[in-house]
Amino acid sequence: MGVVGTLIEAIHILFSWPVFGWMILGVLLGIVVGALPGIGAALGMAIVLPFTFPLDRISALVLLIGIYTGAMYGGSIAAILINTPGTGGAAATTFDGYPMTRKGLATTALSISATASAIGGGLSLLTLILISPLLIELVLLFGSPEYFLMAILGLSMITIVAKTSIVKGLVAGAFGMLLATIGIAPSTGESRYTFGLFALYDGLSFVAVLIGLFAISEMIKLAAEQSSIATNDLEMGGGITNGIKEVFYHPICTIKSGYIGMAIGAIPGAGASVANFIAYGEASRSSKNSDEFGTGCSEGVIASEASNSGTIGGSLIPTLSFGIPGSAATAVLLGGLIMHGLQPGPHLFKEELHITYSLFLAVLLGNIIILLTGILAITRMSYLTRINTNKIIPVVIVLAFLGGIALRTNWIDVITVLILGILGYYMVRNNYSIIAFVLGVILGPIAEENLLRSLQISGGSWNIFVTQPISFLLMILIVVILFGPFVKTALAKRS
Amino acid sequence: MDLKIPANSPVSGTDELLLLFLFFITSGYMYLEADSFDSTAALWPQMLAAFVLIGIVSLLIQNYLPEPLQRVVAESVSVIEVNGDAEMKESEEEITKNESSLFVVLTSITYIAVGYLIGLVWATPLFVAIYTAWFQLKWYIIIGLSTLTFVIAYTFMTFMHLPLDRGVIFGGI
């Protein structure tokens, strides 16, 4: 079946029941979790993940993608109304979104956000669908040595995108990989670090790890923070159609920001929280009204929102092609894929292409739902900002632990959620990247399997990682990424 | 070895020393334990454990390293220059240690411990009631949330066939 035929099949799947219902539910849930400061896409998806077990895999993945898509828009609601971004991807939205609210244009700002998110996200996905045949060809060129090096490359990129000591980032990532060695060794079937406990033979559940790191540690952090929840009714001035028109009056800004988001989203670990600042900065630089940025300029909101939704398409590229998550949320999505028996790589672009296209189309359709929901429910959005986080935190913690026990009816998973949650909190507190840690846990088994297979192929010789052209290139990239910034600084100091 | 933290070390505070100690002990144990595995099964964990151990030691002694190495260990590099804190969500802002976070940690540990003893479905409303009371929410919110979470736990027990009403003390698990 060709690409077009598979796309048509994917459309049939997406519009069938209950898949369509799960998608709508996912988007609406995503908008809510995105709007609640401190919650966000990754946490929302991590909590829901164990409860997708009874669903068929397409419904489960469409639900998760829906939450991801909805949260990218939802983060703008609190950003615009109370100057507190619901997600990291909406941080730059506060710069002009909140001033618009103060000018009595909250409805206009929310309408701009919904429209720009829909267009940015939609463009990114359409582009992804168009380039997917090229992606397939690229993925097929990769063998075991290349997959091993891609895992190391992914981890290396996290450490330089994150603002932390490079050694701290690598230690966090390597420690995550080390924990992933608990259980049965892939090559020999020998049990490692199980202490004779049958429950540990399958190793630590990476879903439990995700829940602990993204749910429990975030709730501990949220409990410690001063939350800027609105206590009074907000004045929702401005107009919906004015907001929609503003986006269409700035097509270059919208399209450019969407593609900036897509490009940044494809870099592992970068994600929406980086993309929205870069897109905002670029919009400010290139605008004829750059003086108005920061005072309630619609282009500022457009740039931030189009880019953060644009990251969705970009982040799916490394996730589906190589199993390297482009963001925290796609790390959870990857967990969902693996949990439902799907392996990232060529398989997803050949035998399971209809599932892959269903996911792409779910994001596309999700953006339309966001537009409709955003526009229809704009005047009621302020309610979300009045929810006290102390009502949400205990419920999320309960759901996290119930999710842990639901995975394998195994108290080891509950303890994993608890310990990793506390560990994750203290790691964040001391500037150790938990996304590097999560990546380590997810990539560790992939890296080990491909390392051992490569060494088997080469008869134990490590030259296999430098003698093939693509693997040699990847090695160079890893070295450049890790040491390049230091060499550049040293050369600059000398000159 | 002098464990006094140097002034410009990337390692700061008791928290971080404890974290590094945990990493050190875990990695050290896993490295040594891997000697009892088949060589193929031991390769990857030993490589990783050695890497973590070297990383930890370099963080602790970074002030005594030659300048080029010190720069590699201590400095943050980000190829994406942004305004404000554009990091991933985990370092959006500085997290300050206070009673609330410690309270959540301790109550979560107690919740799991009590749940293991008597069953999660019974421990859940207790945890939520204690949590919401500590944060001084209104009485009807406390009762409402405790009831809601009890219903959620009970629903999961029923529909997902989870043994949440049993613990070590009651019901035997």
Are the beta carbons of A225 and A232 closer than 8 angstroms?
Answer: no
Give the mutation candidate from B73, B89, B140 for the A interface (greatest A CB count, under 10 A): B89
Distance CA B51, CA A159 (A): 15
Contact A178 B26 (CB under 8 A): yes
Res A451: pLDDT: 92
Give the model confidence (pLDDT) of A452-482 as tens digits. Answer: 999 999 988 889 888 888 899 989 988 888 8
Ranges A14-18, A25-29, A86-90: which has the least confidence: A86-90
| A35 near B CB under 8 A | no
Q: Select from A361, A260, A263, A268 the least CA-distant residue to A305.
A: A260
CB-nearest to B41 from A165, A192, A425 is A192
Res A422: pLDDT: 94
Across residues A264-270, what is the average pLDDT? 77
Res A382: pLDDT: 65
Distance CA A127, CA A123 (A): 6
Q: Select from B28, B6, B5, B72 the least CA-distant residue to A159.
A: B72
Q: Where are the beta strands (DSSP E) in B51-168?
A: none
Higher pLDDT, A411 or B161: A411
Res B41: pLDDT: 92
Percent residues over pLDDT 70 in chain A:
94
* Cβ-based contacts under 8 A for chains A and B: 267
Give the model confidence (pLDDT) of A355-409 as tens digits. Answer: 888 888 888 888 888 888 877 776 676 666 667 778 889 998 998 999 888 888 8
Contact B40 A185 (CB under 8 A): yes
Distance CA A311, CA B86 (A): 14
Q: Which positions in chain A touch B33 (Cβ < 8 Å)?
A: 192-193
Q: Select from A21, A118, A102 the least CA-distant residue to A69.
A: A118
| A270 near B CB under 8 A | yes
pLDDT at residue A234 is higher than 80: no
Res B135: pLDDT: 87
Res A133: pLDDT: 81
* The residue to which tokens 């108005």 are assigned: A292
- In chain A, residues 284-323 whose CB comes closer than 8 Å to chain B: none
Distance CA A399, CA A163 (A): 31
pLDDT tens track, chain B, 173 positions: 333 434 444 556 778 888 999 999 999 999 999 999 998 999 999 999 999 999 999 888 877 777 777 766 766 655 444 444 334 444 444 444 578 888 999 999 999 999 999 999 999 999 999 999 998 899 999 999 999 999 999 988 888 788 888 888 876 65
Report the gap between the CA of A7 and the closest CA in chain B (Å). 33
Q: Which positions in chain A touch B137 (Cβ < 8 Å)?
A: 388, 390-391
Res A320: pLDDT: 87
pLDDT at residue A210 is higher than 70: yes
Contact B80 A452 (CB under 8 A): no
Report ipTM for this prediction.
Answer: 0.84
Contact A426 B19 (CB under 8 A): yes
- In chain A, residues 457-486 whose CB comes closer than 8 Å to chain B: 483, 485-486
Across residues A170-199, what is the average pLDDT? 90
Res A409: pLDDT: 86
Give the mutation candidate from A165, A221, A483 for the B interface (greatest B CB count, under 10 A): A165
| Phi, psi dihedrals of residue A184, rounded to the nearest 5° | -80, 130
Res A236: pLDDT: 67
pLDDT at residue A75 is higher than 90: no
Q: Which positions in chain A touch B115 (Cβ < 8 Å)?
A: 401, 414
Res B24: pLDDT: 95
What confidence category does residue A270 fall into, taking pLDDT thresholds of 50, 70 and 90? low
The dihedral formed by the CA atoms of A180, A274, A336 and A198, expressed in degrees to the nearest 10: 20
Distance CA B14, CA A74 (A): 38
Are the beta carbons of A385 and A81 closer than 8 angstroms?
Answer: yes
Res A235: pLDDT: 63
Contact B22 A423 (CB under 8 A): yes
Give the CA angle between residues A304, A306, A310 to the nearest 5°. Answer: 115
Distance CA B59, CA B24 (A): 12
* The residue to which tokens 């009892």 are assigned: B36
Give the CA angle between residues A19, A24, A27 to the nearest 5°. Answer: 125
What confidence category does residue A284 fall into, taking pLDDT thresholds of 50, 70 and 90? confident
At B70, list the tokens: 């010190």
Distance of CA A373 to the CA centre of its chain: 22
Q: Which positions in chain A touch B95 (Cβ < 8 Å)?
A: 221, 224-225, 425, 428-429
| A422 near B CB under 8 A | yes
Contact B91 A163 (CB under 8 A): yes
